[in-house]
Each structure stands twice: as C-alpha cells, then as structure tokens.
Amino acid sequence: MSFHDVYNQLNPDQLRLEINSKQQSDVEVALAKTKLDINDFQALISPAAAPYLETMARRSQQLTRQRFGNTMQLYIPLYLSNKCTNICTYCGFSLGNKIRRKTLSMEELDQEIAAIKAMGFEHILIVTGEADGTVGMDYFREVMPHLRKHFAHISFEVQPLDQADYEELIELGLNAVLVYQETYQREPYARFHLRGSKQDFDYRLDTADRLGKAGVEKIGIGSLLGLDEWRLDNLYTAFHLDYLEKTYWRTRYSLSVPRLRPCEGSFSPEHPVSERQLLQLICAWRLFKPELEISLSTRESARFRDNVMSLGVTTMSAWSSTHPGGYANRDESLEQFSIDDNRRPDEVAVAIREKGLEPVWKDWDTSLSA
C-alpha cells in the first residue's frame, strides 16, 4: 500500500466539480464544526467561501494560538548548489538557463554556517538543485557533520532519494525532508518538467512514503501555487496528508504554500493566485488540520507576511538568499527566484513581536524542551 493506491482512485474532473459546486450553506456547515473532514476542506477552499474570509481568519488565528501558543518559528534556507540536470520551466536553476553554477566547497560551507549562526538561527533548511553527480549522497555525507555540529534542526529540500539513503541521512542527523509534488496533475506536470529525473512523477509521488518508512521525524508536502489549479492541487495534498497521517502516525507534518515568483527565464504562472486566495487557503488548512505546521517563505512581500503571520502560519523564513554562498557573500545573479521580503532576521523578529508573537529560533521540539 502506498499513496499511489489512493491517488489512482481520485478523479480530478469529479473533484473539480465537487469544489466548484459547493454552496455557502456547505461553508457554514464546515465553519460550525470543530473537527473537519475533506468534504469541509473542499467547501473552505471553494469560491463559495470567499465572502467568509474574515470569519475563517478569526477561527484560524484562534486555533493556531491554541495549538502553537504566541510563537513563530524562524528558519533560514542554505543553498549548497545551484547545479541542476533537470529542466523545469518555472525555475531559475533550470539546466537551460545561463547562470553561473556553483556548489559550495566545505570551506565555503563553513563560511556560510558562520554567517548564519551570527544571525541566531538554529533551524536550517538545506536546498540544492538536482544534480546527483555533484550533490548526491557522497556530498551529503560530507556536509552532514558540518551541519550537525552547529544546528539544532536540519531539514532537506533536495532531490527525492531512496529509502536507504534517507535512513543513512537520519543516522547522520537529518530531522526533516520537504518534498513538494509541484502539481498532482500528470498532464501539466509533464509540460513543466521537460528533462531529467524530476520527470518521473511516480517516483516523486512515492517520496513521502519512502520517508515515512525510513522513519524521518517530519515530512513537508505541498504544491507550487500557480502551476495548475490551486484548489484542486491542495485538495490532492489534503488526501495525501490524510493518508500519510494515518499510515505514518509517528511522523510530524508541515505544509508549504509557495507561490510562483519571477525567475531567470521569465516564466509567468498560468494560474496566478491572489493574496486573498492565498489567505483563504492558509485559513482553510488551519481549520482542517489544527496541528499542522504551515510555513510562509520570503517569496511573499513583507507587507503580506506581516498581515497574515498571526492568522494561521507557524513557521517563517527570513533573510533568504537562494544564491549558494549568499550569506557570506551576497550575489543576486545566482538566484533561483526573486525574494520579496528582503528584511534582515532582526527586522523580521521585530515585526513578529509587534504582532504579539515571540520569534523562536529553534525547532518546536527542542525549543519546548529547552
């Protein structure tokens, strides 16, 4: 049994119809419940829920404070390499794009670590392009001891790996893996992924199962908002999460809601998502899954992040550079996509405090037990 078995039973045409036929009465039924199911989630992401955004935001805020207290977890992405052998039409690191390619040496990694530690971060998200020959298991084996020495919590957002590789990385100190399906629809997935191992939709779809079997502490899932229909992709994500929670119940889960951003190669999203729709989505997820960690990155503007940070989000990145080596030596020309919130971590921390929240620099578990 894997998520594939669930996935194969889902019919996108029927699910799209179900979402679009939701009425305001369905939204009101969902809002009256304390424990919501997938049917209620469909109602809350539907167009019929748009007039209820204020009510949803109030409920979402209340649930988030109940479960997570008055805190906001902070993390920083560390890009190790922008080499990539794949062509993904929406990404600045895509093979065809003429950018300077760079993979950090261990000496450069140590410089990045020192720059990040000076900012106070304990929670690191390691990001690479997908280039097995350069940034494969041999490279990860080399970098893990450097990271383990300095960070309380290590997450990876790299190419999907085999179960045995995940098991080895967990032994070396890996805590969490984020792997986004980008879109759960096969046809658009094939159109956006034109070359390389990421073309293998099924191997990517099975990644969370391999992680669950390997016993990782936390798995992050989500879709890339703007590639295809955000409502449908998030409904698929909800089925995915429901399945994972039931199957790998010891694991914690997080969700990201990344919106497509401008990048090298000037890609424009076919299905743009407005800020209001993004807020609706965040609130719908919170009402559906009160325990779920929800992350909002610096892809979003400072104004939007400040406005929504208390309404359902639990985790935020700050001062992100998508340039390998970008903290010790900032160079915008190697970026994967443009960042909208360029504030330094201390400025983000001030904005968080102004909302009555306490910035947390470690992961939940370690910070709560400290």
E strand segments, the chain = 71-81, 87-88, 123-128, 153-157, 176-178, 193-195, 218-221, 252-256, 293-296, 315-317, 358-360
- Comparing CB distances to ligand SF4, the nearer of 214 and 263 is 263
Q: Which stretch binds ligand SF4 (CB under 6 A): 80-88, 114-122, 233-241, 270-278?
A: 80-88
Tokens of 106: 């261990």
The answer to whether residue 129 forms part of the interface with ligand SF4 (CB under 6 A) is: yes
- What is the nearest approach in angstroms of ligand SF4 to the Cβ of residue 335? 12
- What is the nearest approach in angstroms of ligand SF4 to the Cβ of residue 88? 3
In this structure, the dihedral spanned by the alpha carbons of residues 119, 158, 267 and 344, taken in order and rounded to 10 degrees, is: 0
- Comparing CB distances to ligand SF4, the nearer of 26 and 130 is 130
- Comparing CB distances to ligand SF4, the nearer of 129 and 226 is 129
The answer to whether residue 207 forms part of the interface with ligand SF4 (CB under 6 A) is: no
- What is the nearest approach in angstroms of ligand SF4 to the Cβ of residue 40? 32
CB atoms near residue 369 (< 10 Å):
7
- Comparing CB distances to ligand SF4, the nearer of 286 and 299 is 299
Burial of 302 (0-12, 13-18, 19+ CB in 10 A): middle
- What is the nearest approach in angstroms of ligand SF4 to the Cβ of residue 339? 16
- What is the nearest approach in angstroms of ligand SF4 to the Cβ of residue 41? 27
- Comparing CB distances to ligand SF4, the nearer of 193 and 210 is 193
Binding pattern for the stretch 83-122 against ligand SF4, x by CB under 6 A and - elsewhere: -x-x-x--x-xx----------------------------
- Comparing CB distances to ligand SF4, the nearer of 128 and 237 is 128
- What is the nearest approach in angstroms of ligand SF4 to the Cβ of residue 93? 4
Instruction: Please name the residues in contact with 19: beta carbons below 8 A apart, sequence gap of 6 or more.
Output: 42, 45, 46, 231, 232, 235
From CA 163, how far away is CA 207, in angstroms rounded?
8
Tokens of 275: 């800020």
From CA 8, how far away is CA 42, in angstroms rounded?
19
For the chain, how big is the Rg over CA atoms in Å? 20
Q: Which of residues 141-200 bind ligand SF4 (CB under 6 A)?
A: 198
- What is the nearest approach in angstroms of ligand SF4 to the Cβ of residue 153? 22
The answer to whether residue 287 forms part of the interface with ligand SF4 (CB under 6 A) is: no
Nearest in space to 306 (alpha carbons), one of 263, 277, 349:
349
- What is the nearest approach in angstroms of ligand SF4 to the Cβ of residue 356? 36
Question: Is residue 218 a contact partner of residue 244, using CB atoms and an 8 Å limit?
Answer: no
Q: Is 262 left (phi over 0), alpha (psi -120 to 50) or beta?
A: beta
Residue carrying the six token digits 């967990």: 170
Residues near ligand SF4 (CB under 6 A) are: 84, 86, 88, 91, 93-94, 129-130, 198
